[in-house]
């Protein structure tokens, strides 16, 4: 009896350890893509950041724009620039956003590049839209990448060679 309790307890500990190790790896490595069209999802992670329900390292803020550090940076500078309005992707943003929202977002990208000292060295602005674009968070965002060479075209060509597509 005592032996089976000890065994079950050990099994439980092993299960708990595996799930604790797996959670952060899984959520980052296999992030699911989302559609660029459809209703705005209030529960997305950037909506939570905008509502201050979860923390973010804010780099820039204006009436219609928020910019913060990406939680998994792929370059020394990796900032996410988002409209404060509820836009799922560039599709509804271009249809529904006001001129001031659009202008502030574009200007913010340049302002932040200067603020992060990458204006001179150069940078890349990337937007992923929908499944094929690799969008994982259904709130419009631009990745501002810099601090070292951003060779996105080269990595895509490598990918093509690897997969044969
Ligand atoms: P995308 O794949 O273009 O939709 O990009 C989503 C980005 O959001 C990824 O680069 C993630 O690392 C980033 N991200 C996810 N959650 C957070 C968070 N809580 N704070 C900052 N960045 C995040």
- Render pLDDT for 92-141 as a digit per residue (tens, 0 to 9): 999 999 999 999 999 999 999 999 999 999 999 999 999 999 999 999 99
Q: Is the CB–ligand 1 distance for residue 89 below 6 Å? A: no
Q: Is the pTM of this model over 0.95?
A: no
Separation of alpha carbons 76 and 145, rounded Å: 8
Give me the residue label for tokens 């201050």: 52
For 49-83, the pLDDT digits (tens) are 999 999 999 999 999 999 999 999 999 999 999 99
* Residue count of the chain: 165
Mean pLDDT for the stretch of residues 25-51: 84
Q: Is the CB–ligand 1 distance for residue 135 below 6 Å? A: yes
Query: Of ligand 1's atoms, which has the minimum distance to the CA of residue 137?
Result: 4
Q: Which fold has domain 45-163?
A: HIT family, subunit A (3.30.428)
């Amino acid at each position: 009896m005592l032996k089976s309790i000890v065994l079950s307890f050990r099994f439980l500990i092993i299960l708990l350890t595996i799930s604790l190790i797996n959670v952060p790896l899984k959520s980052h490595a296999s992030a699911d893509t989302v559609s660029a069209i459809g209703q705005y999802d209030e529960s997305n992670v950037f909506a939570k950041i905008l509502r201050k329900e979860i923390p973010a390292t804010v780099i820039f803020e204006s009436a219609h724009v928020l910019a913060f550090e990406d939680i998994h940076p792929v370059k020394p500078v990796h900032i996410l620039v988002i409209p404060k309005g509820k836009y799922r992707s560039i599709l509804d943003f271009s249809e529904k956003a006001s001129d001031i929202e659009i202008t502030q977002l574009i200007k913010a990208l340049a302002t932040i590049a200067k603020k992060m000292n990458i204006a001179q060295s150069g940078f890349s602005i990337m937007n992923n839209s929908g499944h094929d674009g690799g969008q994982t968070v259904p709130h419009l965002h631009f990745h501002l990448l810099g601090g070292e060479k951003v060779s996105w075209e080269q990595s895509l060509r490598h990918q093509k060679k690897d997969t044969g597509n």
